[in-house]
A and B are shown apart, each in its own frame.
Chain A
Amino acid sequence: MSKPLLQATNLQCERDGRVLFDDLSLTIMPATLTRVEGPNGAGKTTLLRILAGLNENYSGEVHWLGAPRAAQREMFQRNLLYIGHRTGIKAALTAQENLAALMAGRHAVSAATLRAALAGTGLAGYEDVPCSQLSAGQQRRVALARLLISDEPLWILDEAFTALDTHGVAALERLLSDHAQRGGAVVVTTHHDLEVPGMQRIRLVPDKVAV
């Protein structure tokens, strides 16, 4: 049995005086796909942001590879790929510049690799188009192109399938299960019916949590 990548224990989070979840514990193992489910306002995005280390308004503990995450933030972030529902695309920059920006501070990527990744998400020919001229789905594909050149084992994707067409959805599903098969871990929220064998489900219910 391999070591868990990410472990959260007794998470408790309040927002605007309302308890989103209380005493929530979960483990993200390598080579797994985890789906966080729940109605609107149940705190799915908040949970993902807590797991990604963006939201610090919680009590409870988060461990990365068995040690407290707070003590090894840079190491954790080197191993994390997070895409939120704000995709991280600047309208003024081109698709390629945006992808380069998303890879910034991580690992060195050649221009050829960037273009290949964009082509891999069906954006061949759009590399030098400013993102202000791309559709919402195309902008999301720019952000998702990161998945193709990622070396991070942990992927946390909020509403990953939003704005994608059926073809894009199928391709992304394949990409996620490939990543899990290669030993990576994926945590997603989605309104789309994602079914992958062996998928872990975390169901958030307002004021109640059932795993």
Chain B
Amino acid sequence: MSMWRWFHKFGSPKWFFDIASRLIPWLLGTGLVLLLTGLVWGLAFAPQDYLQGNSYRIIFIHVPSAFLAQSVYLMMASAAVVTLVWKMKLADVFVQTMAPVGALLTFLALFTGAVWGKPTWGTWWVWDARLTSMLILLFLYCGVIVLGRAIADEKSSARAVAVLVLVGVVNIPIIKYSVDWWNTLHQPATFTLTKRPSMPVEMWAPLLLSVVGLYLLFGWLTCVRMQTGILVREHRTSWVRALVRSQGV
């Protein structure tokens, strides 16, 4: 029962707005510190790779963004379930405000992948299984964004996007599996960016730091963007009006 009450409380936009305000500085602070430490360590101090020299260092950006890009879709899928089952507004605010962030991270992963491909394969783009899967993930994100914008009515838009996200998440493993199969069919296996035989501690420690740092920064961005989304949707409620007045706007 108390669990249930907590759930509903969490669903209240005002409650979330207040909690988010308190979390924002912490998430931003620790996220920045961890990410910067990880990046400086990884880019400047970690040892060279015996095979690829310095060009491998882009994994300190590529891997965290690729990691997060995939988890954001999973988080959106969980929120989509909440939207459909409990009709919670907040869950939809999450899906619709974070889809562009997911798309951006996917793009970043693709871009860094291409930049890394130039010295490694000698070309900007290779139809490598991992890159191709990321490209399809980008398409999935785009579909979610486009559908959300196309439906004017807030409730319909929330439910339609939730259905699409769930259909997407069912398909992602199938897409991944078939792209991997396609890759073995058409190309000799190339060594991929993240599949390394053994990574010394000096390499994976900064990588871990930047992954955690990026996650925290994502948490910060979630809070900020959702606060904006909540203000837009709740602009007619008394608490938002009071808030706006107290800020002297």
Q: Which residues of A contact B (CB under 8 A)?
A: 14-17, 57
Contact = CB atoms under 8 A, between A and B. Distances in A.
A14 B155 CA distance: 9
Contacts, number: 9
A180 B177 CA distance: 61
B152 interface: yes
Interface of B: 152-156
Contacts of B153: 15-16, 57
A8 to B, nearest CB: 18
6 interchain residue pairs of minimum CB distance: A57-B155, A16-B152, A16-B153, A57-B156, A15-B153, A57-B153
A17 B152 CA distance: 9
Interface of chain B, main secondary structure: helix
A57 B153 CA distance: 9
Contacts of A57: 153, 155-156
A15 B152 CA distance: 9
9 contacts: A14-B154, A14-B155, A15-B153, A16-B152, A16-B153, A17-B154, A57-B153, A57-B155, A57-B156
A57 B155 CA distance: 6
Nearest to B87: A59
Given A14-B154, A14-B155, 7 more contacts: A15-B153, A16-B152, A16-B153, A17-B154, A57-B153, A57-B155, A57-B156
A119 B155 CA distance: 44
A15 B156 CA distance: 10
A15 B153 CA distance: 6
Contacts of A17: 154
Contacts of A15: 153
A15 B157 CA distance: 12
A183 B152 CA distance: 41
B155 to A, nearest CB: 4
B212 to A, nearest CB: 40
Contacts of A14: 154-155
Contacts of A16: 152-153
A191 to B, nearest CB: 26
A190 B55 CA distance: 74
A207 B47 CA distance: 68
A14 B156 CA distance: 11
A147 B72 CA distance: 52
A16 B152 CA distance: 7
Nearest to B155: A57
Contacts of B155: 14, 57
Contacts of B154: 14, 17
B8 to A, nearest CB: 14
Nearest to A58: B155
A88 to B, nearest CB: 22
A16 to B, nearest CB: 6
A96 B78 CA distance: 48
Nearest to B235: A17
A57 B83 CA distance: 13
Nearest to B233: A17
A62 to B, nearest CB: 15
A182 B154 CA distance: 42
A136 B95 CA distance: 44
Nearest to A17: B154
B102 to A, nearest CB: 26
A16 B156 CA distance: 10
Contacts of B152: 16
B80 to A, nearest CB: 17
Contacts of B156: 57
B148 to A, nearest CB: 15
